[in-house]
Amino acid sequence: MKFKLSGYSIMELLLIFVERKLRLRLPISSKLRWKFNISSEIRFWDKCIRTNGLIWPDEFRLRLDPKLQLQNEIAILLPNNNEVTILDVGAGPLTYIGKIYNKAKLKIIAVDPLADEYDKILSKYSLTPLIHTEKLEAEKLTQRFVENSFDFVFARNCIDHSYSPENAILEMLKVAKESCYVLLLHRPNEAEQENWRGLHQWNFSSENGDFIISSKNYKINFSKKYSNLCKVECRYDKADDMLYTQLLKMKS
């Protein structure tokens, strides 16, 4: 992997080099480790778009389908409005969310910290997304959006790749309207399954219905810690190997 040296101290570069060579866990900040590993995500999407979906060609085609119906797991959590605003966090270059919903007009905004790199990939393969992804880190949503802005906030297979999942989810809750939902869809314990490689530094799991976030040296019960902010339901669906975590933002 090639590194751009600008923006990093010699000590930071040395720590990363030693950690990788010796396979040790050194005292490096989560954000620094994340920055050094984002190239793997860029390579993944380059290959995915070049091959029309890698081993998921059907899902890839759906992401480009303007007539794709809104997924049921999202639809059942939407408010009964004539127009619904949805924020897709960590959306990648092509949002997963369906564009058609018979009960309301959808306004979908997609954000991802790697949006600029994804734009280059899309241009490289002459592909135009149905919804353009804007550059924004999940941990910094309120730097762009006013609090209580969205009827629904969504993230799929991405927040556990962020440098601070706890703060990212808190930001998602902030920009969601009161009495509206945040929905997280993620593989359970993916960091362990991927042997803590690359961006896989955080596990999401369910313990007795509570939502748990953990790393090698940190663990919180999000459901209990933030019970004053939201009501959390967390369940594992074995059929699709997915952890469904829905957070209902409480009224202040």
pLDDT tens string 69-86: 999 999 999 999 999 999
Q: Compute the average pLDDT of residues 165-193.
A: 97
Q: Given this model, what pLDDT does residue 17 score?
A: 62
Confidence of residue 196 (pLDDT cuts 50, 70, 90): confident
Domain membership of residue 11 (yes or no) is no
Query: Which stretch of 17-21, 108-112, 197-201 has the lowest confidence by average pLDDT?
Result: 17-21
Q: Given this model, what pLDDT does residue 250 score?
A: 98
Domain membership of residue 12 (yes or no) is no
- Residue-number span of the structural domain to which 162 is assigned: 43-186
Confidence of residue 1 (pLDDT cuts 50, 70, 90): very low
Structure token digits, residue 202: 């955080």
In whole angstroms, give the CA distance from residue 16 to residue 32: 9
Domain membership of residue 198 (yes or no) is no
Domain membership of residue 220 (yes or no) is no
Residue 65: CB atoms within 10 A of its CB come to: 12
In whole angstroms, give the CA distance from residue 234 to residue 207: 9
Considering its fold, how many domains does the chain have in total? 1
CB proximity list for 242: less than 8 A, separation 6 or greater = 185, 186, 187, 188, 236
Q: Is the pLDDT of residue 6 over 60?
A: no
Query: Which stretch of 91-95, 213-217, 226-230 has the lowest confidence by average pLDDT?
Result: 213-217
CATH number at residue 139: 3.40.50.150
CB 110 within 8 A of CB 145: no
Q: Given this model, what pLDDT does residue 34 score?
A: 81
Q: Given this model, what pLDDT does residue 199 score?
A: 84
Domain membership of residue 151 (yes or no) is yes
Domain membership of residue 87 (yes or no) is yes
Confidence of residue 3 (pLDDT cuts 50, 70, 90): very low
DSSP output for 233-247:
EEEEETTTTEEEEEE
Mean pLDDT of the chain: 91
- Please count the CA atoms within 13 angstroms of the CA of 151 that sit on its side-chain side: 18
Domain membership of residue 88 (yes or no) is yes
In whole angstroms, give the CA distance from residue 114 to residue 43: 12
Q: Given this model, what pLDDT does residue 5 score?
A: 43
Domain membership of residue 197 (yes or no) is no
